[in-house]
């Protein structure tokens, strides 16, 4: 029995994870679940999966959850320390890191330091603290398996057990390029001049994937692909110039690896996150995920083209941050989180997102990412700076 902690159980990835687990009660048991605010949804999950522990965001949410679960023996706690505990407890083997944003960094790192098997959806944690996080994974012999569909596809297209923390390098494996596919999101074809006026509802309407609101907006700006370039850099040890973004609007190929002998290996499937979740849960075995088999004969033509960096300036900003190194990706990530939140709250327009991120990057020096404290301090400075810019724009 694998004992599982799900950080961010009520989110899109959390719900898909529970869907896969429910298909294999003989293999997996839920040890702990967390949610931030959606107490009722978490209570229903607790009734269905009977974890030992549940963690929420505030004392008020914890009190309400205790009331709802009064007849069950589930330990309820709140806050970051409790998240770190359920991620590192000796009673859990595997941690699904599916909190959105920087809030996931501390518990995901706690799981790494406790040597857990980490299923990583929370890309922001890796973007912020790549070297430190990979060092912790290596030092504490944790296992890191990518859930992001592209990175899971790349992992499947690389030689067995290939990760940078396992000491593998692209050159030694004969890898010429990592080809990171991108759907291009809902605004791939839309006239650029009209992007200023798109609404949060339009930005969240992804053509192929159903996801949380933050990553949906990131997909519309293509900041998501930028964060994924940085994620691929850390997971697979590839420099920025060995990672190509390829627009592939159908999202059938989830990413590819191009080798020096001219071979290109790819992973294909229907766009449903239960496939990478099931892959990582069972790795190196395979289990059913509930996803339909891909019917190649019903597919329209598959298209591929180069990304337009003028249409998607966030993608260029992310490459800049990766090349700058140090705490620059933490700056980028924090500014983006603030700007996306402001957009979702209708305080700024869609095109202001890239402007806020650019200004924060231009106006704030980055430093060495020498410790988690240094990264968190950079995150806080970037949030404050982005907040001031948002305020001025929305005044
Ligand atoms: P979501 O918004 O649907 O869910 C987020 C989860 O995090 C919820 O359970 C919420 O309660 C919790 N949460 C939010 N803020 C929190 C905070 N401050 N402290 C503690 N918990 C908090 O998001 P999602 O779409 O499931 O995405 C989760 C992560 O997975 C993101 O990092 C995203 O980039 C990544 N990811 C998602 C998908 C997808 O298909 N949804 C695909 C690839 C990667
Ligand atoms: Mg992805």
Residue 178 has pLDDT above 80, yes or no: yes
pLDDT recorded at residue 206: 87
Give the whole-number percent of the chain exceeding pLDDT 90: 95
The reply to whether ligand 1 has any atom less than 6 angstroms from the CB of 116 is no
* Mean pLDDT estimate for the chain: 96
Is the pLDDT at 164 greater than 80? The verdict is no
Indicate if 220 and 312 belong to the same structural domain.
yes
How remote is the CA of residue 121 from the centroid of ligand 1, in Å?
8
Site to substitute for ligand 1 among 57, 104, 210, 212, most atoms within 8 A of C-beta: 212
Nearest CA to ligand 1 atom 16: 36
CA angle 290-12-257, nearest 5°? Answer: 70
Residues 123 and 221 grouped into a single domain:
no
* Count of structural domains within the chain: 3
Q: Which residues contact 329 (CB under 8 A, 6 or more apart)?
A: 127, 128, 130, 230, 318, 321, 322
Give the pLDDT of residue 207: 86
Q: Which of 320, 342, 371 is the last residue of a domain?
A: 320
Q: Is the CB of 14 under 6 A from ligand 1?
A: yes
* Domain housing 339: 325-395
Q: Which atom of ligand 1 is nearest to the CA of 149?
A: 43
Structural domain ending residue among the three candidates 96, 131, 146 = 146
pLDDT tens by residue, 242-259:
999 999 999 999 999 999
Q: Is 11 in the pocket of ligand 1 (CB under 6 A)?
A: yes
Out of 89, 116, 146, a domain closes at 146
Strand partners, 7: 97
118 in the same domain as 173: no
Nearest CA to ligand 1 atom 41: 211
Same domain, 119 and 199: no
- Residue 209 reports pLDDT greater than 90: no
**Which of 13, 126, 280 to mutate for ligand 1's pocket (most ligand atoms within 8 Å of CB)?**
13
Same domain, 126 and 220: no
Greater pLDDT, 75 or 168: 75
Query: Above 90 in pLDDT, residue 144?
Result: yes
Of the ligands numbered here, which is closest to the C-alpha atom of 153? Answer: 2
Task: Provide the pLDDT confidence category of residue 139 given band limits of 50, 70 and 90.
Answer: very high
Query: pTM to 2 decimals?
Result: 0.97
* Residue owning the nearest CA to atom 7 of ligand 1: 99
pLDDT grade for 167, boundaries at 50, 70 and 90: confident
My answer on whether 308 and 337 are in the same domain is no
128 and 8 in a common domain = yes
Task: Please provide residue 267's backbone torsions phi and psi, each rounded to the nearest 5 degrees.
Answer: -120, 130
Contact predicate 257/263, CB 8 Å: no
Q: Are 21 and 139 in the same domain?
A: yes
CATH number for position 135: 3.40.50.720
Query: Could you tell me the distance, in angstroms and rounded to a whole number, from the CA of residue 38 to the centre of ligand 1?
Result: 12
Of the chain, the percentage scoring pLDDT greater than 70 comes to 100
With a 6 Å cutoff on the Cβ, whether 77 touches ligand 1 is no
Q: How far is the CA of 298 from the centre of ligand 2 (A)?
A: 24
Span 64-100, pLDDT tens digits: 999 999 999 999 999 999 999 999 999 999 999 999 9
Quick: pLDDT tens for 331-351: 999 999 999 999 999 999 999
Q: Which of 322, 327, 324 is nearest to 369 (CA)?
A: 327
Chain segment 24-65, per-residue pLDDT in tens: 999 999 999 999 999 999 999 999 999 999 999 999 999 999
- Please give the distance, rounded to the nearest whole angstrom, from the Cα atom of residue 312 to the centre of ligand 2: 16
Among the residues of 122-273, which ranges form H helices? 123-139, 149-157, 200-203, 213-221, 223-236
Measure 175 CA to ligand 1 centroid, in angstroms.
31
59 CA from centroid of ligand 2 (Å): 33
Q: Is 248 in the pocket of ligand 1 (CB under 6 A)?
A: no
CA of 261 to the centre of ligand 1 (A): 39
- Evaluate: CB of 7 within 6 angstroms of ligand 1: no
pLDDT in tens, 301-320: 899 999 999 999 999 999 99
Number of continuous H segments (helices) and E segments (strands) in the chain:
15, 11
CATH number reported for the structural domain that contains residue 355 in this entry: 1.10.1740.10
Q: Among 159-173, 207-221, 239-253, 351-365, whose mean pLDDT is lowest?
A: 159-173
386 with 244, same domain: the answer is no
Domain co-membership, 142 together with 152 = no
- Report whether pLDDT(163) > 90: no
Q: Which atom of ligand 1 is nearest to the CA of 35?
A: 11
Residues 285 and 232 in one domain: yes
Check whether residue 290 and residue 347 sit in a common domain.
no
d(CA 96, CA 107): 11
> Which atom number of ligand 1 is nearest to the Cα of residue 36?
11
- Greatest Cα pair distance, the chain, in angstroms, is 62
Residue nearest to atom 23 of ligand 1 (CA): 212
């Amino acid at each position: 029995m694998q004992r599982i902690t799900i950080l961010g159980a009520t989110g899109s990835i959390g719900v898909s994870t529970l869907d896969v687990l429910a298909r294999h009660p003989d293999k997996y048991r839920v040890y702990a679940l967390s949610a931030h605010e959606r107490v009722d949804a978490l209570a229903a999950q607790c009734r269905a999966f009977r974890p030992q522990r549940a963690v929420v965001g505030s004392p008020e949410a914890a009190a309400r959850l205790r009331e709802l679960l009064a007849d069950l023996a589930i330990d309820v706690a709140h806050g970051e320390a409790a998240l770190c505990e359920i991620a590192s407890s000796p009673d859990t083997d595997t941690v699904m890191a599916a909190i959105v944003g920087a809030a996931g960094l501390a518990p995901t790192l706690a799981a790494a330091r406790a040597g857990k098997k980490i299923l990583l959806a929370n890309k922001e944690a890796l973007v912020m603290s790549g070297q430190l996080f990979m060092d912790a994974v290596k030092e504490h012999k944790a296992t890191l398996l990518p859930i992001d569909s592209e990175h899971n596809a790349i992992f499947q297209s690389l030689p067995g057990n290939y990760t940078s923390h396992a000491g593998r390098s692209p050159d030694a494996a004969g890898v010429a390029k990592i080809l990171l596919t991108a759907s291009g999101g809902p605004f791939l074809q839309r006239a650029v001049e009209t992007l200023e006026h798109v609404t949060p509802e339009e930005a969240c309407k992804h053509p192929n994937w159903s996801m949380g609101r933050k990553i949906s907006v990131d997909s519309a700006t293509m900041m998501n692909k930028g964060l994924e370039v940085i994620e691929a850099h850390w997971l697979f040890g590839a420099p920025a110039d060995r990672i190509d973004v390829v627009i592939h609007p159908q999202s059938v190929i989830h990413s590819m690896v191009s080798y020096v002998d001219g071979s290109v290996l790819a992973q294909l499937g229907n766009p449903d996150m239960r496939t990478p979740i099931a892959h990582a849960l069972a790795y190196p075995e395979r289990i059913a995920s509930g996803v339909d088999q891909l019917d190649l004969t019903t597919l329209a033509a598959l298209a591929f083209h180069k990304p337009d960096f003028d249409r998607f300036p966030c993608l260029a900003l992310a490459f800049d941050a990766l090349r700058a190194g140090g705490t620059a990706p933490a700056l980028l990530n924090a500014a983006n989180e603030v700007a996306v939140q402001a957009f979702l709250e209708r305080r700024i327009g869609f095109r202001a997102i890239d402007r806020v991120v650019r200004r924060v990057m231009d106006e704030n020096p980055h430093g060495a990412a020498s410790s988690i404290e240094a990264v968190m301090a950079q995150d806080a400075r970037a949030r404050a700076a982005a907040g001031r810019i948002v305020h001025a724009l929305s005044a």
